[in-house]
Amino acid sequence: MASDVGDRIPILKLGDALLVTIQVDMHDRLALALEDDLTNRIVQTSAKGVLIDISALEIVDSFIGRTLASIAQIARVLDAETVVVGMRPAVAITLVELGLSLPGVRTALNAERGMALIRTHRADELDADPDGDAA
């Protein structure tokens, strides 16, 4: 599936979470490819969490913002929790000024906190539903 490596953002599996670190400038095609790949990987690995690290992103336009929001929605449909981590202050201000406050996307300051958030969310879910398989 991962054919064109140069044109893809790598998705790493970490326990039952998927880790995406965006290190390059996002352009629209890349964002759409990420949405595709991520959807497929969530289904493949039945991941319960998606962590998207955008700490290296200096520019986020409205399209990227919307793509992040739709990734979160898609993941929720597939029973995975999305956390966007490491957003820079300037990016946060830009998104708010664009009117994109990403409702429905969880956020955390850094990858560590984001992982913790995914873990507690998962634990809460298992507590609420003890019959679900914990493996």
Binding mask 43-82 for another protein (x = CB under 8 A): ----------------------------------------
Residue 24 vs 96, nearer CB to another protein: 96
**Rounded Cα gap, residues 130 and 134, in angstroms:** 8
CB 53 within 8 A of CB 88: no
Stretch that binds another protein, among 7-15, 37-45, 106-114, 121-129 (CB under 8 A): 106-114
- Residue 120 carries which DSSP code? H
Strands 17-21 and 11-14: antiparallel
> In the structure encoding, which two tokens stand for residue 104, read together?
């429905």
Residue 98 Cβ, how far from another protein at the closest point, in Å?
Answer: 11
C-alpha distances out from residue 79 to 47, 56, 59, 67, 72, Å? 8, 27, 29, 18, 10
Nearest to another protein of 46, 73 (CB atom): 73
Choice between 36 and 112, CB closer to another protein: 112
Write out the residues near another protein by the rule CB under 8 A: 84-85, 87-89, 91-93, 95-97, 101-102, 107-110, 113-114
